[in-house]
Amino acid sequence: MNTYIALFRGINVVGNRSLPMSDLVGILERLGCERVRTYIQSGNAVFWSRRNTSKKLAEEISAKILERHGFKPAVLMLGVPELEEAVKNNPFKTLDGKALHFFFLESHPKTPDLDGLRALKSNSEEFRLNKKVFYLYAPDGIGRSKLAAKVEKSLGIPVTARNWNTVSKLLAMVKAEQ
């Protein structure tokens, strides 16, 4: 049995692309996923599956949501080792879980424009790119960050972001099942 963490991009944001978590649980269970648990309404799920190909499963989940809810969200799937590595490699130690953000990348960026991001960075912000995770420490808030708004474009690949509080909770959910 494989444990997966599914991060859904752009659902339940300001009333758009509505997907109740109870519906998401049902969709995942109909696709053969077990022990499905969700965390907050922005689209985070932890579950077990017998499947070894997370990419195909992500595509099936997205297609089922399109079929039932009329939109097709991007679904980024992580295994437990990937989530653990992202936490282990976090370069910023902070007690403010809302100031630290993990941008999970669909793949390794081939030609990231890190100089462009440095030019957008405020004095209080710091960032690091490590493999398939872009870390952003934004103590003045991510909503005010010019850098945060340009991460995806500057990296050239799809991303989905979660703050430290959410990442920590997802890791705790996974650990509770092991």
Series of mean pLDDT values for 10-residue runs along the chain (178 residues): 92 76 94 95 91 90 94 94 96 90 95 96 96 96 93 95 96 87
Which candidate, 161, 166, 173, places its Cα nearest to that of 74? 161
Question: At which residue do the structure tokens 């437990």 appear?
Answer: 80
Count of the separate structural domains present in the chain: 2
Q: Which amino acid is residue 139, in one-letter code?
A: P
End-to-end alpha carbon distance in the chain:
11
Question: 94 and 172 in one domain?
Answer: yes
In the sheet with 133-137, reading across from the earlier edge strand, the strands are 126-130, 133-137, 100-105, 159-163
The pLDDT assigned to 18 comes to 85
Beta bridge partners of 101: 136, 163
0.85 surpassed by pTM: yes
Q: Are residues 22 and 39 in the same domain?
A: yes
The DSSP-derived string for 29-43 is HHTT-EEEEE-STTT
**114 and 165 inside one domain:** yes
CATH code (residue 132) = 3.30.70
Q: What is the pLDDT of residue 113?
A: 97
Among 55, 82, 109, the domain-final residue is 82
Residue with tokens 């909503």: 143
Residues 148 and 100 reside in one and the same domain:
yes
Nearest to 98 by CA among 47, 48, 139: 139
